[in-house]
Structures are given as C-alpha cells and as structure tokens.
Amino acid sequence: MTTTSPSDLYALVPCAGVGERAGAGGPKQYAPLAGRSLVAHTLQALSQVTRLKQTLVVLSHDDSVFESQVPAFAGWVARVGGASRAETVARGLADLAERGARAHDWVLVHDAARCLVRPEWIDSLIDACVDDAVGGLLALPLADTLKAEAGGRVAHTVDRRHTWQAQTPQMFRLGALLAALAHAGPDATDDASAMEAMGHAPKLVQGAFENFKITYPSDLALAERLLRTRT
C-alpha cells in the first residue's frame, strides 16, 4: 500500500456488550476485579503501549457508568455501540475516521474482557505486523484434543494440526477492516474472519494463555488470582 505519510496506530476497544454468561450481575466489563473494574485493567495495559496514538472505547448508547468505573482514562469514548461486536467495531472505526484517523492507519481491536493482556504482548503484535501487507492477530496453537459433539456425545475427533485459538488484539488497516466488516455483516465473530472473507490471510502471532477472554464466573475467579499474584 502506497501512502504519503507514516501510519499511526490506534487501539479500539469494543465495550458495549452485556456479558450475561459471566454472572457478574451486570455488564462483565464493569465487574470488580482485584480492586478495580475489569475494563480498567484492560485500558491500563493499553495505556502502557507507547506507540499507540490514542485509544477509543466504544460503549452502548445508554452506558452511564463508564467514566465512574474508569476515572483515570484519558482516551476517547464513543457511545455508538451496535447490537453485535462486528457492528460495534465498525461504528468505532467510523468514529476514528471522523476524528482524523486515515484509511492506511493501523487499528488494534482488543476485547474489553481480555483484561490480563500485557503491554509486551501488544508490542510483539505490532512488531510482527507493522510492515505486513495484511496485518494479524495474537493467537495460540491448540494443545488439547478437540471433539465434535452431536446430541451430547462425541461425533468425531477434530484434527488439531495447524489449528490456532484466536485472541486479541487483532491489527489491521482502518480502511481495509471497515470494508471487510461491511462485506461480512453483523455476524462476524472477529475481525480476522472478516478479513479472511475478503481473501486476506492475516498473520498469526503467538500470544499467551493468560490472554483469555472473561466469559464465565470461573474466568473471573481465575483472573482475580492471576492479577493478585502478578509482579
């Protein structure tokens, strides 16, 4: 891609979900975790990545608690979240463009619920992708044996060779990702799959087990223990 100026890097954090499976008694991004809200841990990690020009958090239209839950946040906030993650990300990308981000700038989309992410993992993704033609994502090679299910029983064993578990951040050019999400529609489960549907092959960058997504109550308990024992 030919550009007239260097590309900037932005972070976009979709934070408009309900997160009912986490059993947090409200949106899981605001669940208390090791002395602060879950999303506050996420944003603290992003704030330590010095190459990011700015971070945009995309909230639901009726979110009235974000500022009180993350009082130290100095980035951008947009209350334009959609009914799905893909819609929320697409609207966030459009908001970034309105704020001056360009089509060739990089955007690192990171789930608010991956609160254990470390700045050095994000930096490794940037190092691996900043000169790449497509971009890429943090991911982990699958180690467990996988079973396909039918009626509560094993239907067959899935070949796990060359199989990775997608994580975030996922890093793509703003213009390319916006076009890919428009093509994929609201049901795209992550940004990489939208890019794949456009014929692109995102780069896999090995992440870490700790970078898991908070989904169930047991995840909150595990994240609490890990955060309290970090050095």
How many folded domains does the chain comprise? 1
Q: Is the pLDDT of residue 97 over 80?
A: yes
* Residue 142 maps to a domain: yes
Domain assignment present for residue 3? The answer is no
162-197 pLDDT tens trace: 899 999 999 999 999 999 999 999 889 999 999 999
pTM for the predicted model, two decimal places? 0.92
Domain assignment present for residue 135? The answer is: yes
Determine, yes or no, domain membership for 4.
no
Give CA–CA dist 101/51, Å, rounded.
Answer: 15
Asked if the structure places residue 69 within a domain, the reply is: yes
CATH number for the domain harbouring residue 134: 3.90.550.10
Structural domain boundaries enclosing 222: 9-229
Residue 2 lies in a domain: no
Q: Is position 1 within any domain?
A: no
pLDDT digits (tens, 9 = 90+) for 38-66: 999 999 999 999 999 999 999 999 999 99
- Classify residue 212: in a domain, yes or no: yes
Q: Which of 103, 115, 99 is nearest to 227 (CA)?
A: 115
pLDDT of residue 111: 97
